[in-house]
Structure 1
Amino acid sequence: MPSTSALTLLFLAFFAIFVASAPLATPLPRDVYSPRVLYPRNDTVWHVGKTYTVTWNVTDAPKSITNSKGMIILVQNHRMIDLDSPLAEGFSILLSKFNITIPHTVKPGTYQLLLMGDSGNVGDEFTIAK
């Protein structure tokens, strides 16, 4: 008659084979959405302290977006500027536009806008002047 430890080992071996042969769960599809920024464009000049409308293309938006809350961040030389104080946040990425005000702390120069939802998309370079 087999010992208890031998039966336990046999049971564990069959259990391991059963678990290893079980199909893996299929992950639910996730739609990562990164709309293209339409405005500002390369020829755009904005001024510190003024309010402007950022626009982006939502015509290709999927039905199910993993994060539909947007954020707009100023970028200069491929670096995000003042990430702790974005130009805008908490709006629906499906709005296709949102008003922002250029803070007085922004120095004149060449910038881009980063539109974030569940992914990010950087727009064209544009100019901010005093």
Structure 2
Amino acid sequence: MNLKSLFLVFTTLLSLSLALVLNPKITSPTAESKWRAGDQRTITWDTENVVGGPIPADYTGVIKLGYLDPKDSPNEHLYWELASGFPLNKGSQSVTLPQDLETRRTYIIVLMGNSGNASPEFTITAAR
């Protein structure tokens, strides 16, 4: 193999590794989850069965809270950042929900690393 061919193979492999897209499935919250504004909760995701995995140790994540509005589909209304900079391969992150959330049944959690994936819609009720 000549130097030019070796360089081509190397750059192709490097490009493929940089194009790695990970989509760990969120396992909590679920569609049955009912949370309350202001509460501390733990977001969890599957680190074992990840398309594109395993998750490299140096990948960090961001967790956003949003909601879906049938009148404004497909906008995810991701107004609240709940956590950032945590290791994506950890599989969980504790967060505190904002105190001033309205009651909705269409909240979603979006886990972002090098790709974003959303939980099923779930309920958060307003603080008491």
TM-score range for the pair, normalised by the shorter chain length: 0.7 to 0.9
Unaligned runs of 5+ in 1: 1-21
CA distance in 2, matches of 1:74, 1:60: 24
Percent of matched pairs sharing the same residue = 30
Query: What residue in structure 2 maps to residue 14 of structure 1?
Result: none
How far apart are 1:33 and its partner, in Å? Answer: 1.1
How far apart are 1:87 and its partner, in Å? Answer: 0.6
CA distance in 2, matches of 1:47, 1:111: 12
How far apart are 1:66 and its partner, in Å? Answer: 9.5
Q: Superposed, which structure 2 residues align to 1:1-130 within 5 Å?
A: 25-28=11-14, 29-30=16-17, 31-61=20-50, 62-63=53-54, 65=56, 68-77=59-68, 78-82=75-79, 85-109=80-104, 110-130=106-126
CA distance in 1, matches of 2:41, 2:119: 15
What is the aligned-residue RMSD (CA, Å)? 2.1
Unaligned runs of 5+ in 2: 69-74
Cα separation, partners in 2 of 1:105 and 1:67, compared to 1, 3 Å: farther
Question: TM-score, normalised to structure 2's length?
Answer: 0.73
Count of aligned pairs: 107
Question: TM-score, normalised to structure 1's length?
Answer: 0.72
- Contact conserved, 1:51 with 1:99, CA < 8 A, in 2? yes
How far apart are 1:65 and its partner, in Å? Answer: 3.9
